Amino acid sequence: MSNTACIFKLRDGRNLGYAEYGKPDGTPIFYFHGYPGSRVEAELADKAASHKNFRFIGIDRPGYGLSDSKPDRRLIDWPDDVTELADNLGFDKFHIIGLSGGGPYTAVCAWKIPSRLISVGIISGLGPVDVPGLRARLSVFQRFWFSTAKHFPFIIKPAAYIVGRMLCRHPEEFRKILKERTSKSDKEALDDPDILRAFTNSFSEGLKRSSEGLNRDLLIYANPWGFKLEDIRCKVKVWHGEKDHVVNADFGRHYAKCIPGCQAEFFPDDGHFSLAGIKIEHILDKL
């Protein structure tokens, strides 16, 4: 099953884009893409979801892909969009999984709508960047942008526009950079044309209409989230690669330490892209 350009109109008039993979009548999983990204990133799980009888639904966050932007959106607003889509699709309960920059959006759903969730999975998830020990685990480039977003937010919108245009206009150069700045396991994963296509299509689809999602996400990541991980009261599992050069594994350890009852699995030889690209069937097994 694959229907990659679905649009649902929310009560406030915004369009919310989503894509469906896996089994049409399977148990529903909502997938929250990375940063930047889009609904089509969920293609990574298409075959695995079919094997495991899951209906795997990737959602565009506001300002990405087919989803209209929402000015001044907050992290804690996201569960409202998710539940509205779930109600429209007839889901009383569902699983959620978030990758990388989708991690905070997964965590906030675990905090705000636990009664709707069967289980929660966070893969290579970005955590709160203002925690002193975690801030030291960011790259120099990441620290610069998060600091700029927090203290000089007016700079971020034009910068996001420029970055978004560059990613869309020079996809081959972006693929080259993507492979050069990752671990050995990630390079090997990205040598798989299906995995590389899923990620690069996700980036380009997410940014082709607007850079507003890129802009707003960065502002959200750089500032307090509006809730505490310690207040989450539902089943959460974390998967993280020790060779992750994009989101350090200490972010995964932070989730595991702070969320009550959290179960975490760390992969000594995996990185950022290899975990989601190659281990997705294992992850769905454990969800």
Check residue 150 and give its pLDDT: 81
Given a cut of 80, is residue 164 above it in pLDDT? no
- Residue 245 CB partners (closer than 8 Å, separation 6+): 181, 182, 183, 186, 271, 272
Q: How far is CA 245 from CA 185, 186, 251, in A?
A: 11, 9, 12
Q: How many of the other CB atoms lie within 10 Å of CB of 61?
A: 29
Share above pLDDT 90 across residues of the chain, in percent, rounded to a whole number: 70
pLDDT for 167 equals: 66
Asked if 201 and 146 count as a contact pair (C-beta separation under 8 A), the reply is no
Rounded to whole angstroms, the Cα distance separating 103 from 236 reads 11
Which two three-digit tokens encode residue 94? Answer: 């569902």
Instruction: Delineate the domains of the chain, giving CATH numbers in brackets.
Output: 2-286 (3.40.50.1820)
Q: What is the pLDDT of residue 286?
A: 92
Assess contact for 148 and 155: CB atoms under 8 A.
Answer: yes
Partners of 136 in beta bridges: none
Full-model pTM = 0.94
**DSSP string for 16-66:** EEEEEEE-TTSEEEEEE--SS--GGGGGGGHHHHHHTTEEEEEEPPTTSTT
Q: What are the backbone dihedrals phi and psi of residue 118, each rounded to the nearest 5 degrees, phi first?
A: -80, -45
Least Cα distance to 246 among 31, 60, 36 occurs for: 36
For residue 253, the model assigns a pLDDT of 98
Cα diameter, the chain: 47
- Which pLDDT belongs to residue 224? 94
Name the helix (H) or strand (E) containing 237.
strand 236-241
- What phi and psi, each to the nearest 5 degrees, are found at residue 112? -95, -35
- Taking each helix axis from N to C terminus, what angle separates 140-151 and 212-222, rounded to the nearest 10 degrees? 90
H helix runs in the chain, sequence order:
46-51, 78-89, 103-112, 132-135, 140-151, 156-169, 171-180, 184-190, 193-207, 212-222, 249-258, 273-278, 280-286
The average pLDDT across 247-252 equals 96
Tell me the per-residue pLDDT of 53-62, one tens digit each, with 9 for 90 and over: 999 999 999 9
Tens digit of each residue's pLDDT (9 = 90 or more) over 192-224: 989 988 988 898 899 888 888 988 999 999 999
Give the model's pLDDT for residue 181: 67
